[in-house]
Structure 1
Amino acid sequence: MWKTKRSTVKGYFLAGGEMVWWPVGASLFASNVGSGHFIGLAGSGAASGIAATAYEWNGMFCVLVLAWLFLPIYIAAGVTTMPEYLQRRFGGKRMQIFLAILYLFIYIFTKISVDMYAGALFIQQALHWDLYVAVIGLLVITAVYTVADLQDRYFKAVTSNRDGNSSCGLPREDAFHIFRDPVTSDLPWPGVLVGMTLPSLWYWCTDQVIVQRSLAAKNLSHAKGGALLASYLKILPLFMMVFPGMISRILFPDLVACADPAICKEICGNPSGCSDIAYPKLVIELLPIGLRGLMMSVMIAALMSSLTSIFNSSSTIFTMDLWRHFRPLSSEWELMIVGRVFVLLLVVISILWIPLVQASQGGQLFIYIQSISSYLQPPIAVVFILGCFWKRTNEKGAFCGLLLGMAMGMIRMVLDFVYLPPQCGEPDQRPAVVKDVHYLYFSMILGMASLIVAVAVSLLTEPPPEERVRSALDGKKASKLMRLMLWLCGMERQDGDATQAAAGTKGETAMASAKEAPAVKHILNVNLMLCLSAGVFLWAYFA
């Protein structure tokens, strides 16, 4: 606040472009990990074991893809927001409008309603109020048990109120494996490797909240350093959230692992299951009263901060990208009123959506978030990948691919809420497309369909103007890895002089320097290999 010019775009939105690597990395991790993680990851750990950790460790790689492949392009294009990049790359207005609408859907379905539900659940467990859920962390609990004891006791954590003739309430046999059966499991391994990566690339490489943190770095080296720090920190959720959730099931099996819908309804208000109370239960039962109250106050403050940030971003997208497009002569006073009214509308829609959050995916909040992400985010990821790495992509192809992808994703999402998963012991009467096609497999299908349509339409229509492609894609002289990537995608090697000329025309809009000192660049690349090796080891060890 004190050091930057907040009256300028660069100063207000990007901290003056002066952030060094460690606050960039910490901000990336803190922006990613929220109430949905503490409630949802712990709940998934209690319900089905460590498999949900795959989402976190997938992010280890995708945040590095952002820094090494996408960020040089964003910096060279001199953009502040992701819709602005698509506008610069493809031209026209409909891509920007369409993306704004899609982002609002994503915010409502996966952010606002989830945060509200998570906040209410925590308060419900703490104060026994008839609310919905909240969030706070307890890392020390993991040290109560060694991993070996945890593995032994988790399989014995069976609720006493289950029907002895069914599998309801029993821990999964593959609870300590990330790679699971490709047909019958809750997280099939091909979907984990491929279907999970598309939404993850959208989140880490194209979502405004994440990319904006990296664009605020003082140069590309600090952005890469921040990405490396965030990638290393992504190792922690298994120990911070998943294992404590599994420990909670061991300590409170009749509550966290309840199997009877009527009993679950009485315990947590959700007949689908009570695994999401795992983390709050640890905090409420094991912390002393004073510390419990302190953590509740911190949780409520964090929840309010999270919600206000999302409300602000959503309101800005609606008023500036949608309302102002349809009413270009609207006054500033009108925009302010519309923005505030829209926030109220968001609150109402999100509250009405909470019962569907509760009932979806067997009561597992984190799996609900990931399933909705798999229905809405892959088409956006495909459009950004094509826009960044294939210069033949034009606006018609990108828009058609995005339109088809959104239509398919919305249909599957509606079917998911119309045909809810059966409760334990009930027959599964859902249609085959819902029952037999896992959401991660659907993510793969969605991405492939969007890719085929975008490529086909682009090839069948006129190529984009050369000057538009150059202004959006010219970056620093590519590394060998980058040049190989560009060659595989059919792009020509960029010319350094053209890059400098393009950068010179941008003036102050270029958000960070793309220059890297050779020694620092080598250190970063060595750390990149170390981080990738650590990620591969973790995947292999827990596979």
Structure 2
Amino acid sequence: MVSLHWGDFLAILGYFGVIIGFGLWSSCQNRGSVDGYFLARRSMNFIPVGASLFASNIGSGHFIGLAGSGAASGLGTATFELSALLVLIILGWVFLPVYIRAGVSTMPEYIKKRFGGDRIRIYLSVLSLILYIFTKISADLFSGALFIKLAIDFDLYASIGILLLIAGVFTIGGGATAVICNSTCGLPRKDYFNLVRSIDSDFPWPGMSFGLLISSVWYWCSDQVIVQRALAAKNLTHAKAGCIVAGYLKFLPLFLMVLPGMVGRILFPNEVGCSDPEECKILCGNEGGCSNIAYPKLVIELMPPGARGLMLAVMMAALMSSLTSIFNSSSAIFTMDIWRRIRPKSKDWELMIVGRLFVLVLVVVSILWIPIIQASQGSRLFDYIQAVTSYLAPPVCAIYVLAVFFKRINEQGAFWGLIIGLIVGMTRFIWQFSYEEPPCARSYLDKRPAIISKVHYLHFGIILFTITFLSAWAISLMTKPIPDKYIKRLTYFTLNDDEEPVEIKDGKGMCGNFCVGANLDEDDSEKTKEDEISVEPIQDSHLIEDYLEKKSPGRWLSRLCDVNAIIAISLSGFCIAFFNRYDF
């Protein structure tokens, strides 16, 4: 066990001192307007946009999970990062022009304009809270606690307590059974250095090609945290360039996380590559395996004093930033989108109390879920996160793709498509985690149904996307279409319409004007004021035009973005081809 040096503690204190000071200074700069606070007054050039996109994606879960998955499975893990480059280009060239032309700054606002009604927005709010619990809070708590456990030899749950205490301060201030070991357990896979793998491997090529694309489109093209960064650009060309910068930066995790994880397995084969459940339990407190300790082990064992403390400080800062932002976001979502609909006349003090109590509920549920994370996906954190995403995100991806590309999709089709997708996804989710996945050495005890053990989570993501897509399409065809005047400029193929869309004003009921029998073409003046709930535009028409055209820095920069998009995709293809030359 390597104890921390006094230089490590000095580096940690100094780092947090600088970060807190800079944060206090920065918090005073963008006050006074919504655009200033949320979108940096839409004045960012492509460099901070690209850096912000990358930083918003990379967190403590990557350092623990991605490196751990690299240690366990090899280079194939890097495909999760390299594939993001293509999806970032899809964001900049396909989705962002639609969002900008629609004049929106949030994803719920786009859904509201595109479909009307409120029930899809409520669905997305509830889904966000579910994903916060199972892929954000619990995963961040686990990864951060693992770092503290290795650094100062604390119990895992005592380390979680320390994290919650620090996060609270930040938020307020701003059976023994004989083991028959498989001889291959603990040994690297034959395709350890390959990015593209066979259909029956841990990263099957159909799942990595199509299932991962579905999850990535959901994350990069419809998640508010990500899209908000791109919308902060001074114009569309800079937004595209920012996506290219972020795409180039996505090559870094291969060298900064995946390869170090593989190195950790080589340097510490008995610890990182342990296969005996009893031995793993002693080494890292987890019978399923210890691959998640690969990166922390490298930092704590090999880095010199001071540098080691600085790295720990960076990890803790990333974790605190992630936790506090999630706490704030989840509190706001629950109080504003859910609680206010239960109690529309609730006072501000009630909303504040409810919000804080809800955060406590989230934390408790997340902590109770951590043992499931430890036992899931062979104890590989990153694979666990991707699996949960594949069970819940594909329906949302399907609806956004339909909303952007097909104007025939209406609110009823979108909503019921989401509900069908949620039922199918949650069935797999609950079914999956109702069974304990045995460690490699006890694979002979795997009694899970074939649909759980044989159908890869990425393949299931493809199935779930298809079910949602077809359901939403069929229901839309069987119900009344949205008149064209309501969807001008709100889809990719109506992007350049001269006229602005007419605002959808909701009638009575959750689905507003899209309930069966509703008449969208009726005179709006006949509605009562109580029935009118319209979306207030964030931008005037001339501001949108200015953003798209008049502030364009020149056609040469736009052409340069197109060329770099081709170069970036080519580099990604080269990496995939290069790391499949050899059969190890």
Q: TM-score range by the shorter chain?
A: 0.7 to 0.9
CA shift, 1:399, in A, is 0.7
When residues 512 and 523 of structure 1 are mapped into structure 2, their CA distance, relative to the original with a 3 A threshold, is same
Structure 2 alignment gaps of length 5 or more: 1-25, 161-178, 504-536
- Distance in 2 of aligned mates of 1:323 and 1:466: 34
Q: Is the 8 A contact 1:79 1:511 kept in 2?
A: no
- Distance in 2 of aligned mates of 1:367 and 1:331: 42
Moved more, 211-220 or 286-295: 286-295
Task: Name the SS of the counterpart of 1:338 in structure 2.
Answer: helix
Task: Name the SS of the counterpart of 2:498 in structure 1.
Answer: helix
Q: Is the 8 A contact 1:75 1:511 kept in 2?
A: no
Q: Is the 8 A contact 1:42 1:243 kept in 2?
A: yes
Task: Name the SS of the counterpart of 1:513 in structure 2.
Answer: helix
Match of 2:540 in 1: 506
Q: Is the 8 A contact 1:39 1:118 kept in 2?
A: yes
Match of 1:40 in 2: 65
Task: Name the SS of the counterpart of 1:289 in structure 2.
Answer: coil
When residues 470 and 27 of structure 1 are mapped into structure 2, their CA distance, relative to the original with a 3 A threshold, is same
- Distance in 2 of aligned mates of 1:131 and 1:504: 46
Match among 89, 93, 102 for residue 68 of structure 1: 93
Quick check: which has more Rg, 1 or 2?
A: 2
Match among 196, 206, 224 for residue 179 of structure 1: 196
Q: Is the 8 A contact 1:25 1:230 kept in 2?
A: yes
Q: Is the 8 A contact 2:115 2:410 kept in 1?
A: yes
Match among 486, 503, 516 for residue 468 of structure 1: 486
CA shift, 1:505, in A, is 7.5
Give, as a single letter, the amino acid of the residue that structure 1 aligns with 2:313: S
CA shift, 1:4, in A, is 6.2
Match among 461, 469, 474 for residue 456 of structure 1: 474
Q: Is the 8 A contact 1:215 1:512 kept in 2?
A: no
Task: Name the SS of the counterpart of 1:472 in structure 2.
Answer: coil
Matched, 1:518 2:555: yes
TM-score, normalized by length of structure 2?
0.82
Matched, 1:357 2:394: no
When residues 506 and 245 of structure 1 are mapped into structure 2, their CA distance, relative to the original with a 3 A threshold, is same
- Distance in 2 of aligned mates of 1:436 and 1:164: 21
Give, as a single letter, the amino acid of the residue that structure 2 aligns with 1:106: L
Give, as a single letter, the amino acid of the residue that structure 1 aligns with 2:362: L
When residues 357 and 512 of structure 1 are mapped into structure 2, their CA distance, relative to the original with a 3 A threshold, is farther
- Distance in 2 of aligned mates of 1:7 and 1:345: 33
Moved more, 524-533 or 231-240: 524-533
CA RMSD of aligned residues (A): 2.2
- Distance in 1 of aligned mates of 2:68 and 2:360: 30
CA shift, 1:86, in A, is 0.7
| Mapping of residues 87-102 of structure 1, within 5 Å | 87-102=112-127
Over residues 348-367 of structure 1, what are the superposed CA-to-partner deviations in whole Å (9 max), with x where a residue is unaligned? 11111111111100100000
Give, as a single letter, the amino acid of the residue that structure 1 aligns with 2:566: M
Give, as a single letter, the amino acid of the residue that structure 1 aligns with 2:127: L
Over residues 22-70 of structure 1, what are the superposed CA-to-partner deviations in whole Å (9 max), with x where a residue is unaligned? 0000000011011111111111111111111111011111111111100
Q: Is the 8 A contact 1:10 1:509 kept in 2?
A: no
Match of 1:118 in 2: 143
Match of 1:308 in 2: 324
Match of 1:54 in 2: 79
| Mapping of residues 44-443 of structure 1, within 5 Å | 44-131=69-156, 166-183=183-200, 185-426=201-442, 427=444, 428-443=446-461
Over residues 326-345 of structure 1, what are the superposed CA-to-partner deviations in whole Å (9 max), with x where a residue is unaligned? 22222222212211111111
Task: Name the SS of the counterpart of 2:275 in structure 1.
Answer: coil
Task: Name the SS of the counterpart of 1:537 in structure 2.
Answer: helix
Match among 511, 534, 538 for residue 575 of structure 2: 538
When residues 82 and 425 of structure 1 are mapped into structure 2, their CA distance, relative to the original with a 3 A threshold, is same
CA shift, 1:77, in A, is 1.2
CA shift, 1:163, in A, is 7.0
CA shift, 1:106, in A, is 0.8
Q: Is the 8 A contact 2:489 2:497 kept in 1?
A: no
| Mapping of residues 478-497 of structure 1, within 5 Å | 491=493, 494-497=495-498
- Distance in 2 of aligned mates of 1:37 and 1:495: 40
Give, as a single letter, the amino acid of the residue that structure 1 aligns with 2:466: M
Over residues 188-227 of structure 1, what are the superposed CA-to-partner deviations in whole Å (9 max), with x where a residue is unaligned? 1011100111010000000011000001111101101110
CA shift, 1:314, in A, is 1.1
Match of 1:145 in 2: none
Give, as a single letter, the amino acid of the residue that structure 2 aligns with 1:175: Y
Give, as a single letter, the amino acid of the residue that structure 1 aligns with 2:320: M
Give, as a single letter, the amino acid of the residue that structure 2 aligns with 1:448: T
Over residues 436-457 of structure 1, what are the superposed CA-to-partner deviations in whole Å (9 max), with x where a residue is unaligned? 1110110000000000000000
Moved more, 31-40 or 424-433: 424-433
- Distance in 2 of aligned mates of 1:344 and 1:505: 37
CA shift, 1:165, in A, is 5.5
Give, as a single letter, the amino acid of the residue that structure 2 aligns with 1:440: L
Structure 1 alignment gaps of length 5 or more: 135-161, 474-485
- Distance in 2 of aligned mates of 1:9 and 1:539: 43
CA shift, 1:506, in A, is 2.9
- Distance in 2 of aligned mates of 1:298 and 1:425: 36
Q: Is the 8 A contact 1:10 1:511 kept in 2?
A: no
- Distance in 2 of aligned mates of 1:285 and 1:472: 54
Task: Name the SS of the counterpart of 1:351 in structure 2.
Answer: helix
Matched pairs, number:
498
- Distance in 1 of aligned mates of 2:501 and 2:327: 39
Match among 541, 563, 566 for residue 529 of structure 1: 566
- Distance in 2 of aligned mates of 1:100 and 1:504: 21
When residues 510 and 320 of structure 1 are mapped into structure 2, their CA distance, relative to the original with a 3 A threshold, is farther
CA shift, 1:495, in A, is 4.3
CA shift, 1:472, in A, is 2.7
- Distance in 1 of aligned mates of 2:485 and 2:31: 32
Q: Is the 8 A contact 1:44 1:242 kept in 2?
A: yes
Over residues 342-389 of structure 1, what are the superposed CA-to-partner deviations in whole Å (9 max), with x where a residue is unaligned? 111111111111111111001000000000010011100010010111
